[in-house]
Structures are given as structure tokens and as C-alpha cells.
């Protein structure tokens, strides 16, 4: 099928922003900065080469977990003239300083990591902010930025409430470590946890992860600082990384309030661990174990972050794990004036994923969009951002950007009912029905999905075989649409199910069927049904729709062979169904490519789905009525 070229560049919404570069070259130096506890962090400094003596410029601070700079081997280092980041290149050629820091226990920095996103990551962020503001070239205004894990480090650094930090961009980063990374819907997200652990261990050991080993003939690993000519200090730092706790330890957690600290076998007890534990106890008191995973998740600190009242730009692509939902949660919960949200047609590496256009790099300039944001708060430039909406989103199928004052944008719910003969009906059924689904253990979504791009794998054309995959699922199709139907927001599903075991996993996929039978993936959701919504004790942050608490006390096994009402929310999406196309809801009990069964219950091998008047199972679509 011949697809048109990408159309995802901005055409006015959000407003385009392109300034003439102030300089083409820059000066790059590196050094160690010693923290108060003696730990030395490796720091890379990019300054415009046009900087005059005594001149001061605003600064972007980036804290990273995965090598601040990669060291190329000879002779490739002679060709290595630009930083491997479009953000850095754009900013340092437009009058900014850019500082990137290997975080404690990572890259070429010394120290160890008792767990990721620990209290020391927060306090180290403060010390680095203070160090930057003391530099003679810093004008006292700092913006923090990060993509993926680095976005979380940028986010948590706001807890320090440094008056120098004026704005923050958090891109493609999880918000709630439990629902966004470990257990979407309460179901173990494997093999991602295992692969993330392997990747982190390899990086910490200064080795290329498996997916990057094809480049080992070109690369040494993390760059040593300038004074470390023979990499002696870097080797000493890497030796200390052997004390890092294995990231895969979090896979032992089944519920949100399970404590990582209670698993003594998984944690390496070091002086750094003792310091972090003391900081946790000072914050939470004797009941710190009850905080569970929240001590290592941005969702556990969002109120502290919000107290800084720093404008935050939260962004993600539609198809990169749960990061779009994470960006939405930031926009809903952070209250500083100027906070923004952008959701585009991208996967984790900002490749275009629209099923209606060619794949490949997006034509949208996310680096220019970020500079527009930071220019407003670090340079005081009254740029076009003043006329932009707080929310910008791209509608797949329509292939158009939109702006909105709110998330979700103005709209209404459209209820579509599951009916007999595997139909989706716009009218409420008057007769009862039921469909028996035998869970296919081989059902999956392949290796080109929202889950596969999170560790660097580029997804050029996601979900190419949905028609084939759906043969292993229970599907319900609507009649061909007579008019276009545009949805934006979080679709929800209400099912009446009868399992044959104490619990059931539901995987649901919203899809589009073209007149020629081609099936396009739109979004998905999953739920371990024993996790219940507790209206008396919901999650501590706002969501568009109620979600389970995922607390151990709220988990309740199902009664086998009894009908249970199940409500689940899918990942957010914006999509236009075209006339003549049909809507499909596909339901399964497993995604063998990305999830495994939990270890504390038995999952149903058969699901009876009830439809009709007595049990009105339905799909609710958020119809977009935004008239931007």
C-alpha cells in the first residue's frame, strides 16, 4: 500500500518557531564536580563560542542516567563534531549554555545507586543547580530538561525549589512507576523490566547494551573528563558502580504498597544506601515501608514538585509505552501557570507512527518547540507561545495538529454496545447474549509496538499485522460509518465477564478497519481484574477516569463462574475514523510478547463475555468536539 509523505510538521498549531542561529560553533569542556559528601560527578559543559568575557547566558541543565557523552574510537572521533542530541545542538547555537551531568553511580561519575530516583538523586540535583549558578557565564536563570529517565531526574530536581530554575521540560517519561512501567493495569511488564535491568547494568559497567553492540567497533563507552587523559578516574568510578542495586529488583513488587526496601536480598547495603534510608525515614517516619514504590516514583513526590511552581512542559508520542498517559497526568496535577502538554504522532525516538503516512523521523521540530518554551521563561522573549494553547495534540487519520485549553479537549462520550454476532451497536441491545473466549496463550502484539521502542529500538511501522493477530482474539465490529468520527482522550470499556479462575487478565485493543479489510491499531489497555477501584482511597493524583488503587488491601479475587463487572481505561489517543471504515474492539487474555501472568494468582483460561440488556457491555469513545 502506497502511503503519502509525513505531514506532521506544525502548520500554525502549535506556532512554529525558528530563529537565526547566533553562532555555529561552541566550546566543549568537561570536569569533575565534587559534592558535599565527596562524590565526584562528571560534567560536560557546552558554551557558545561567541561568548565574550563577562557575558552571561541562560543555562539548560540535563541530568542523565545513560552516559552524558559517548566516546568514539579513533579515527571516528575526528568526525564527531556535534553533540548527539538535537536539543543540545539547537540551544547552544542560540545563545544558551548546556550542562549535562552523569548522575551518581552512572557514566563516568563516582558513587553507587541504592535504587533509581532515590533521595540522593534529588539532593544531587540541588548541588548541581547551585554549582551552575556560581559559574561566571551563568546569568542566574536555569531550565531543566530530560527525555525518558532524564526527564524524571529533571522533574525531581524541582523539589529543591531553587529560585534559579525557571522552567522544566519532561519528555517521554513515566510518572507513576507502578502503572507506567512495572505493572500497567497490574500485569507484569515483561520482558521490559528484564531488558531495562540488563541495559542499566551494561551502561553502568561501561559496556554497550545488546541492542547497541553492533556499534562497538566505533565506540568506547562513556567519555572521560578532560583531565582524565588515560581514563584512570573513569575506571575507578566504574568500579564503584558494581555496588549499584540491580534495577530488576523492582520486579519482585506485586502491588503499589509493596516495599522495595523490605526485600533485603535485592538491595545492596552500602553507605549510600544508609544515607538514602535515613532520608526516607526523616521524610516518612516509622511507616516508611507503607509508602511502597512511591519512594522511587515521581508520583510519590508530585505535590513537592508542584510547590516549586515552575512551568512544566510535559510531552510524549502517542505510541511509546504509557508515556502519553504519564504526560497527561503531569498536566492535570501540576498547577504552575504556563504548564503545557504536547502529544504527537511519535514513538519514543520521535519517529512518525501514523498508519496513514510513511514512517521515519518526524518533521515536527520538537527541539524548536522546547526552545520556544525556554526562551519565554529564561530570556523573557514574548514569542508566539503567548498565543499557543496550553495543550497541543495531533490527530492521526486527520493528520492535523490541534490546540486546546484543557485535557481532554471539549467533547462527549459516545457509547457503543457489544451485541450478538460479534457486533458493535450504536443502539442499546434489547436481547441478552454471551460469547465464550478461550484464551490463546500465543496471542501477542509483535515486536514493533509501543512497548518495544522504550529502550532505543526504532519503530518504523508499528503493528503491521493486526488482521492476523486479531484471529487469536475475540473481536467486535461496528457497521461502516456514514460520517467521520474523531476521538480524542481516553476510551473506556465496561465489560461483564465470567472467568473460570480466581482472576482474569483483559487485554483490549481499539482498531480501525478500512473498506479493504486493512486493520489499523489505535490504542490499547490491560487490566488484572482483581485490582479494584477504591472510591474511598483512590491514587493520590488526578486522572481523567477513576483507576484501581493497586493496593494489596484492595485486591479481591474474582468468583469463578460468576459474572463480574469490569471497567478499564485505555491509553489516550486522538484518531479520526473515516466514512466507510468500521470500529473494532479486540479482546484477549494475554500479550505473550510483552506481559506475563502474575505469580500470586491463577488467570482464567476461558472468559465468558455477556452482552445485551441485562449486562450492557460497552465501549465509550471520547468524541472530539474541539473547534480550535
- CATH number of the structural domain spanning residue 427: 2.60.120.260
Residues 160 and 299 in one domain: yes
As beta bridge partners, residue 512 has 520, 583
Predicted confidence (pLDDT) per residue in 220-275, tens digit: 789 999 999 999 999 999 999 999 988 888 888 899 999 988 876 677 889 999 99
Name the residue range of residue 103's domain.
26-187+203-245+294-310
Query: How does DSSP assign 130-142, residue by residue?
Result: HHHHTSTTEEEEE
Amino acid 1: pLDDT: 55
Q: Is pLDDT larger for residue 296 or for residue 247?
A: 296
Amino acid 86: pLDDT: 67
Domain termination site, one of 310, 341, 358: 310
**Residue of 147, 175, 170, 142 whose CA lies nearest to 65:** 147
Asked if 405 and 390 count as a contact pair (C-beta separation under 8 A), the reply is yes
Amino acid 4: pLDDT: 73
Asked if 460 and 351 count as a contact pair (C-beta separation under 8 A), the reply is yes
Classify 394 as helix, strand or coil.
strand
Question: Which range has the worst mean pLDDT, 223-232, 352-361, 576-585, 615-624?
Answer: 352-361
**Cα distance between residue 625 and residue 628, in whole Å:** 9
- With respect to residue 53, please indicate whether it lies within any of the assigned structural domains: yes
Domain termination site, one of 259, 286, 310: 310
Predicted confidence (pLDDT) at residue 608 exceeds the cutoff of 70:
yes
Question: Which range has the worst mean pLDDT, 192-201, 202-211, 221-230, 438-447?
Answer: 202-211
The chain-wide mean pLDDT, for the chain, equals: 93
Strands 360-361 and 474-477: unpaired
**Residue of 115, 293, 275 whose CA lies nearest to 197:** 115
Predicted confidence (pLDDT) per residue in 311-368, tens digit: 999 999 999 999 999 999 999 999 999 999 999 999 999 999 999 988 888 999 999 9
Domain termination site, one of 310, 343, 364: 310
Classify 139 as helix, strand or coil.
strand
Residues 470 and 593 in one domain: yes
Residues 173 and 57 in one domain: yes
Query: To the nearest whole percent, how much of the chain has pLDDT over 90?
Result: 80
- Mean predicted confidence (pLDDT) in 14-29: 91
Q: How many domains does the chain have?
A: 2
Prediction pTM value: 0.96
Asked if 593 and 444 count as a contact pair (C-beta separation under 8 A), the reply is yes
- Mean predicted confidence (pLDDT) in 582-590: 98
Predicted confidence (pLDDT) per residue in 365-420, tens digit: 999 999 999 999 999 987 766 679 999 999 999 999 999 999 999 999 999 999 98
Q: Is pLDDT larger for residue 156 or for residue 457?
A: 156
Amino acid at each position: 500500500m502506497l502511503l503519502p509523505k509525513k505531514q506532521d510538521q506544525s502548520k500554525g498549531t502549535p506556532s512554529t518557531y525558528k530563529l537565526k542561529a547566533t553562532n555555529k560553533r561552541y566550546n566543549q569542556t568537561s570536569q569533575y564536580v565534587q559534592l558535599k559528601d565527596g562524590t565526584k560527578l562528571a560534567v560536560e559543559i557546552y558554551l557558545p563560542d561567541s561568548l565574550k568575557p563577562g557575558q552571561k547566558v541562560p543555562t539548560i541543565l540535563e541530568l542523565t542516567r545513560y552516559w552524558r557523552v559517548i566516546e568514539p574510537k579513533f579515527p571516528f572521533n575526528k568526525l564527531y563534531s556535534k553533540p548527539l542530541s538535537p536539543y543540545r545542538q539547537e540551544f547552544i547555537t542560540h545563545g544558551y549554555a548546556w550542562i549535562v551531568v552523569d548522575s551518581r553511580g552512572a557514566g563516568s561519575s563516582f558513587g553507587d545507586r541504592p535504587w533509581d530516583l532515590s533521595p540522593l538523586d534529588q539532593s544531587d540535583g540541588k548541588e548541581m543547580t547551585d554549582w551552575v549558578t556560581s559559574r561566571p557565564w551563568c546569568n542566574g536563570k536555569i531550565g531543566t530538561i530530560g527525555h525518558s529517565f532524564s526527564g524524571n531526574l529533571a522533574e525531581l530536581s524541582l523539589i529543591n525549589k531553587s529560585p534559579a530554575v525557571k522552567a522544566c521540560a519532561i519528555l517521554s517519561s513515566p510518572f507513576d512507576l507502578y502503572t507506567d512501567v512495572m505493572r500497567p493495569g497490574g500485569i507484569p511488564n515483561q520482558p521490559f523490566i528484564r531488558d531495562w535491568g540488563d541495559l542499566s547494568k551494561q551502561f553502568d559497567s561501561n559496556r554497550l547494551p545488546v541492542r547497541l553492540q553492533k556499534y562497538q567497533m566505533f565506540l568506547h563507552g562513556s567519555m572521560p573528563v578532560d583531565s582524565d587523559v588515560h581514563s584512570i578516574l573513569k575506571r575507578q568510578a566504574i568500579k564503584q558502580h558494581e555496588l549499584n542495586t540491580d534495577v530488576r529488583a523492582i520486579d519482585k513488587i506485586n502491588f503499589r504498597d509493596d516495599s522495595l526496601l523490605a526485600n533485603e536480598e535485592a538491595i545492596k547495603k552500602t553507605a549510600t544506601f544508609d544515607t538514602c534510608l535515613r532520608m526516607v525515614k526523616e521524610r516518612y517516619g516509622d511507616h516508611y515501608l507503607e509508602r511502597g514504590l512511591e519512594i522511587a516514583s515521581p508520583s510519590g513526590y508530585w505535590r513537592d514538585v508542584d510547590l516549586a511552581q515552575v512551568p512544566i512542559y510535559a510531552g510524549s508520542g502517542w505510541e511509546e509505552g504509557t508515556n502519553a498517559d504519564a504526560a497527561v497526568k503531569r498536566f492535570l496535577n501540576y498547577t504552575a501557570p504556563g504548564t503545557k502538554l504536547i502529544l504527537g504522532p511519535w514513538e519514543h525516538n520521535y519517529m512518525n507512527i501514523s498508519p496513514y503516512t510513511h514512517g521515519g523521523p518526524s518533521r515536527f521540530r520538537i527541539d524548536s518547540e522546547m526552545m520556544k518554551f525556554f526562551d519565554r521563561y529564561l530570556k523573557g522573549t514574548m514569542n508566539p507561545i503567548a498565543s499557543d494553547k496550553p495543550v497541543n495534540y495531533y490527530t492521526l487519520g486527520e493528520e492535523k495538529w490541534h490546540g486546546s485549553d484543557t485535557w481532554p479537549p471539549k467533547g462527549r462520550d459516545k457509547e457503543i454496545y457489544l451485541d450478538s454476532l460479534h457486533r458493535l451497536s450504536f443502539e442499546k441491545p434489547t436481547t441478552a447474549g454471551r460469547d465464550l473466549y478461550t484464551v490463546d496463550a500465543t496471542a501477542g502484539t509483535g515486536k514493533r509496538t509501543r512497548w518495544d521502542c522504550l529502550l532505543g529500538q526504532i519503530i518504523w511501522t508499528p503493528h503491521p499485522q493486526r488482521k492476523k493477530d486479531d484471529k487469536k482474539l475475540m473481536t467486535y465490529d461496528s457497521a461502516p460509518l456514514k460520517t467521520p468520527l474523531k476521538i480524542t482522550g481516553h476510551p473506556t470499556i465496561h465489560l461483564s465477564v465470567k472467568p473460570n479462575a480466581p482472576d482474569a487478565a483483559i487485554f483490549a485493543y481499539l482498531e480501525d478497519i478500512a473498506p479493504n479489510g486493512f486493520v489499523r491499531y489505535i490504542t490499547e489497555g490491560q487490566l488484572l481484574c482483581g485490582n479494584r477501584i477504591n472510591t474511598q482511597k483512590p491514587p493520590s493524583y488526578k486522572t481523567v477516569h477513576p483507576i484501581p488503587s493497586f493496593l494489596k488491601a484492595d485486591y479481591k479475587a474474582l468468583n469463578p463462574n460468576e459474572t463480574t463487572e469490569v471497567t478499564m481505561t485505555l491509553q489516550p489517543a486522538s484518531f479520526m475514523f473515516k466514512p466507510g471504515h468500521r470500529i473494532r474492539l479486540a479482546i484477549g487474555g494475554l500479550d505473550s510478547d510483552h506481559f506475563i501472568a502474575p505469580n500470586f494468582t491463577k488467570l482464567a483460561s476461558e472468559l465468558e463475555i455477556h452482552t445485551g440488556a441485562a449486562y450492557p457491555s460497552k465501549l465509550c469513545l471520547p468524541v472530539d468536539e474541539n473547534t480550535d
